[in-house]
Amino acid sequence: MKRFLHVMPLLLLGFLVSCQGSESGDGAGEGNYDVAATYVGSNAELIADLQATHEMLIETIQYATPEQWTFRENEDRWNTAEVVEHIVIAENMFYEMLTGVVFVGDASDIIEEDLTEVDAGIAMFIRDRSTTFDAPEPAQPQGMYATPEEAMEAFETARSNTIEFLTNTDLNLRAYSASIPGSDAPPMDGHQWFIFLSGHSARHTAQIEQIKADSDYPVG
């Protein structure tokens, strides 16, 4: 557990870089497909968490005025529009990683092991903003969404793709795993990748709440 949390920032950074432009699934099979563990949890639990973090973000941004949408705490910080754009970019990259790398190849045999603690550690780490790091260039916002409505539509599309996959798949998510190419991070199994994905949007929703708590945040 401690080693996993130690390398987590590297894992996230490597993931966002390695998924850039990966539309065809080229390189599938290069990850570590060693078995993760027996299935603990369910697709229904993952879907419920994805729906909850989806609602969290929508509720946080849907009534933002133009002034609030572009307000930044200081010149070195992202504004709300940029944070949401980053969430959408990463969401699509996660989906490409999952469908193009993690769930490619043959399923592994299942080894009996309880991963409840590891799952909880992944969820805790990705949502904890006491540790921060810069997003790599491919995940940097470029000013794509002029309004909250545009951003919400893009996020709805990205998140619905993720939920649709989980709703329709009959794969045992624990039987597939992948590491980030070029990192020494241990592999995450498919179930844990979805925990990580959902937690990423929750992490940055908390960042938006921090922006809104600034004493100079415009009044709606």
CATH for 74: 1.20.120.450
Domain that holds residue 16: 2-212
Number of structural domains (the chain) is 1
Q: Is residue 6 part of a domain?
A: yes
Asked if residue 158 lies in contact with residue 88, where contact means CB atoms within 8 angstroms, the answer is yes
Output the pLDDT for position 66.
97
Q: Which long-range contacts (CB under 8 A, 24 or more apart) does 108-111 make?
A: 108/33, 108/34, 108/35, 108/36, 108/175, 108/176, 108/177, 109/35, 109/175, 110/35, 110/37, 110/38, 110/39, 110/172, 110/174, 110/175, 111/35, 111/37, 111/38
Output the pLDDT for position 7.
42
Output the pLDDT for position 19.
36
Token code pair at residue 47: 């879907």
Q: Is residue 218 part of a domain?
A: no
Instruction: Compute the distance between CA of residue 192 and CA of residue 49 in angstroms, rounded to an integer.
Output: 12
- Each of the 220 residues of the chain gets a pLDDT tens digit; together they read 334 444 444 445 444 443 333 222 222 223 222 333 333 458 999 999 999 999 999 999 999 999 999 999 999 899 999 999 999 999 999 899 899 888 988 888 766 678 888 888 888 888 988 877 777 777 789 999 999 999 999 999 999 999 999 999 999 998 998 876 566 777 888 999 999 999 999 999 999 999 999 999 999 7
Q: Is residue 220 part of a domain?
A: no
Q: Is residue 105 part of a domain?
A: yes
Q: Is residue 89 part of a domain?
A: yes
Output the pLDDT for position 140.
85
Token code pair at residue 14: 């490597």
Instruction: Compute the distance between CA of residue 116 and CA of residue 131 in angstroms, rounded to an integer.
Output: 23
Output the pLDDT for position 112.
65
Q: Is residue 37 part of a domain?
A: yes
Asked if residue 218 lies in contact with residue 70, where contact means CB atoms within 8 angstroms, the answer is no
